Amino acid sequence: MRSAVTDQAGSIGLLKDGKAAGPDGIPAEAIKEDIDTSTDMLYSLLGKIWQEEVVPADWKTGHLIKLPKKGDRRDSGNLSRNNVPISAREGFL
């Protein structure tokens, strides 16, 4: 159990500052402000999901974001070819 908490704390520490908040509206800086509390809350939440074998419905929603490269943004040829669904929850499903 303690190693899972340590792994979560390490992952939280790797979150990048200055990035836009995800669909939950919580910026990385807020989660990293108190890693112990964040880790305890996440461990409890993920443990409950694991035991009940039910993933919250809104966690199954991802966002597809097309990132333009340099040039005219209206030109579809200037969109990145590496478009992938972006979701922080993707790893839990």
Mean pLDDT of 35-45: 90
Helix (H) or strand (E) holding 5: helix 2-13
Show me where the domains of the chain are located.
1-54, 56-93
pLDDT in tens, 61-77: 776 666 666 667 677 66
Residue 39 makes CB contacts below 8 A (sequence gap 6+) with 5, 8, 9, 12
Average pLDDT, the chain: 77
